[in-house]
Amino acid sequence: MAKLNEGDVIEGIFTIALSLHLAYGKVEKNVLNKIRSEVDTKMFSTGRFKYSVAKNLKRQKGKNAPDFFNVGFEMRLKPESVIGAFGKDYDVLYKSSKDIGKIDQKVEQLIKSFDRADFAKKTNKAVDYFLDNNKGEVATFTVIADGIAGESSGGEIKGDVTLEIYATAKGSTKKIMSDSLPFSLKSESVTVANLSPYNGMLDFANAMNIKWDAREKYVRLSKSFNGPEEQKSKFELISSMYNDLKKEILKKSTEANFSKTAYSFLKKSIFGSDLANVVDVQRGAVKEITVDYFDNLEKTTKLIAEAKGNNLVFLDKESKAPIFQIRTKLRPPPANEAKFYLEVGKGIYTK
């Protein structure tokens, strides 16, 4: 069996759970798992798998005019990264009350989180829009999971799962809310950017308004390396460039606009152009990074930079809580792996 990508699996499970919550105001694990077993993963290779969770479901609050909800989802995941988590393969596991990896624990946490999570509050507002307005409408909720489309944007779009809402009244259909609701799903991951070292470090330096000669000094990194000797020099150059970058950032950290420029780069890296809130489904909890909380953090919290081993950590100046960090991952041949990471810290999650 191919190795599961738990992030992709959680993306699909979140899609089903959110659809159930929109339709019934609750998520039952056995219902969620039954739908998992009905997902036709073969459809992922050619397009989206479409599923109707509820059709013409009557919903009413008090004496208001009743509304009728149509709720469904569309899903396209990487077929090779979710083998055994959906469809016929999962049906066998589900019937024998088994699961794979740590997914089952995360499903439990996800279901619990609907009582308090920010993403649930946002979708509840969408439901209440219909139940409170006393109009009597047909509401159509479509949850779309298409992380593949997001990847094709080159990282500009962060939303893996998007909620689209339409209302029909007196024969006229209109979209509710000016924008869809996007969510970026993670599974115990702090990484918000996984970049090539040369271009990634240049981009970060540019965002921080650092003026240095790295583009020319390390231009060799923009070309291919062949053979063991060249590969050895490649890793030496990356280490040297990264050490230079850390020194430049530490010098920059004394300037008045340091926090502003750092937050600007971080916001784009986390939320993308679609401003997708982050939902990280873990074994022990569901953690979120929301645009609203981030904006408040930016207004109230100054940053300082400190070198901690290989990492350069950006900390809350007052509490010293880590907000984010940069680091490299260098594994010389035979592994031959070189990465430049941007990772969030515990101080950035919604309290």
Residue 151, pLDDT score: 67
Residue 100, pLDDT score: 73
Residues contacting 245, CB < 8 A, separation 6+ = 201, 204, 205, 210, 214, 312, 326
Amino acid at 161: V
Distance (Å, rounded) from C-alpha 278 to C-alpha 211?
Answer: 32
Element (H, E) at 129: helix 118-132
Location of structure tokens 């979209």: 175
Distance (Å, rounded) from C-alpha 312 to C-alpha 305?
Answer: 7
Among candidate residues 56, 57, 63, 14, the one with its CA nearest the CA of residue 35: 14
Torsion of CA 291, 48, 108, 82, to 10 degrees: -110
The encoded tokens of residue 280 equal 């990280």
pTM of the model: 0.92
- The rounded average pLDDT for each run of 10 residues, N- to C-terminus, in the chain (351 residues) is 82 98 96 95 93 97 94 95 90 76 90 96 93 92 84 78 88 66 94 94 96 96 92 95 97 96 96 95 96 97 97 97 97 92 97 74
